[in-house]
Amino acid sequence: MSDATGTKPESRRTEKIGNVVSTKMQKTIVVQVEMRKTHPKYKRVIKLNKKFYAHDEQNSARVGDVVRIKESRPLSKLKRWTLEEVIRRSSLPQVEEIPQPVV
């Protein structure tokens, strides 16, 4: 069942585009994806938001970035996605973490 043209078959793994909401974990980002659905009875468009935990190996994503995530094997209890690419960088200034003195 090889392809006659020799090209790689299209991946069945789904991709989603969303905004990075949190980067407080190591190598993990939280991406919020907005979906629009029509209500079955009232036929109005409804916005639904869902958060996905994605693996970010280089910690390259920042809060506010628009990213593409791709489905992957389970990496932890909640992580089933990996960061594919950063589509648009955030214009928000990044706040540096200042370590708190130990009392």
90, amino acid identity: S
pLDDT tens digit sequence for 19-55: 999 999 999 999 999 999 999 999 999 999 999 999 9
**Mean pLDDT confidence for 67-84:** 96
At 52, list the tokens.
């996905």
pTM of the model: 0.77
31, amino acid identity: V
Of the listed ranges 2-16, 19-33, 37-51, 79-93, the one predicted with least confidence: 2-16
The partner residues of 16 in beta bridges, in order of sequence, read: 69
CB-CB contact of 75 with 55 (8 Å): yes
* pLDDT, position 39: 95
The mean of the pLDDT values for the chain is 89
At 95, list the tokens.
């706040």
